[in-house]
A and B are shown apart, each in its own frame.
Chain A
Amino acid sequence: MSVINSDTTILEKEPERAATSRPASLARRIGGLSDRAIAWLFITPTIALLLAINIFPLIWAVRLSFTNYRANRPNAVVESVGLQNYQRVLTDSDIWIAMQTTAHFVFWTIVLQTLIGFSLAYLIDRKFRGHAFWTTVILIPMMLSPAVVGNFWRFLYQPQIGLFNYIVSYVTGVPPSSFEMLGSVSLAPWSIIIVDTWMWTPYVMLICLAGLRSIPDYIYEAAEVDRASAWRQFWSITIPMALPFIMLAVLFRGIENFKMFDMVMLLTGGGPGSTTEVASITLKREAFESWRTGRASAFAIILFVAVFGLANIYVKALNRVKQR
Chain B
Amino acid sequence: MTVQSEPIKRKRRPFFLRRGPMENIATALIALGFLMLFQPFALVFYTWSLVTLLAGTVMFIVVSKFPE
A contacts B directly (C-beta below 8 A): yes
Q: Are B43 and A100 in contact (CB under 8 A)?
A: no
A contact residues around B27 at 8 Å (CB): 313, 316
B contact residues around A305 at 8 Å (CB): 50, 53-54, 57
A contact residues around B30 at 8 Å (CB): 309-310, 312-313
Q: Are B60 and A312 in contact (CB under 8 A)?
A: yes
Query: Given A100-B38, A312-B57 in contact, is the A306-B47 Cβ separation under 8 Å?
Result: no
A251 to chain B, nearest CB (A): 11
Q: Are A306 and B46 in contact (CB under 8 A)?
A: no
A contact residues around B43 at 8 Å (CB): 91, 93, 96
A contact residues around B47 at 8 Å (CB): 90-91
Bound complex: CA A106 to CA B34 (Å): 12
Bound complex: CA A100 to CA B42 (Å): 12
Q: Are B53 and A309 in contact (CB under 8 A)?
A: yes
Bound complex: CA A182 to CA B5 (Å): 63
Bound complex: CA A312 to CA B56 (Å): 10
- Verify if A99 is at the interface (C-beta below 8 Å from B): yes
A211 to chain B, nearest CB (A): 20
Residue of A nearest to B35 (CB): A103
Q: Would you give the 0/1 interface string for B28-56, flagging 1 where the beta carbon is closer than 8 Å to chain A?
A: 00100110011110010011011001101
Please, how many residues of chain B have a CB less than 8 angstroms from a CB on the other chain?
A: 22
B contact residues around A86 at 8 Å (CB): 50
Bound complex: CA A106 to CA B47 (Å): 20
Task: Pick from A91, A99, A308: contact of B37, CB below 8 A.
Answer: A99
Q: Are A306 and B60 in contact (CB under 8 A)?
A: no
B contact residues around A106 at 8 Å (CB): 38
Task: Pick from A93, A99, A103, A306: contact of B53, CB below 8 A.
Answer: A306
Give residues of chain A (214-255) contacting chain B, Cβ–Cβ below 8 Å: none
Bound complex: CA A303 to CA B34 (Å): 11
- Verify if A158 is at the interface (C-beta below 8 Å from B): no
A60 to chain B, nearest CB (A): 19
Residue of A nearest to B42 (CB): A96
Q: Are B40 and A100 in contact (CB under 8 A)?
A: yes
Residue of A nearest to B45 (CB): A96
Q: Are A99 and B46 in contact (CB under 8 A)?
A: yes
- B-side residues, CB < 8 A to A, are 23, 26-27, 30, 33-34, 37-40, 43, 46-47, 49-50, 53-54, 56-57, 60-61, 64
Q: List 27 A-B contacts (CB under 8 A).
A: A86-B50, A90-B46, A90-B47, A90-B50, A91-B43, A96-B43, A99-B37, A100-B38, A100-B40, A102-B38, A103-B40, A305-B50, A305-B53, A306-B34, A306-B37, A309-B33, A309-B34, A309-B53, A309-B56, A309-B57, A309-B60, A310-B30, A312-B30, A312-B60, A313-B27, A313-B60, A316-B27
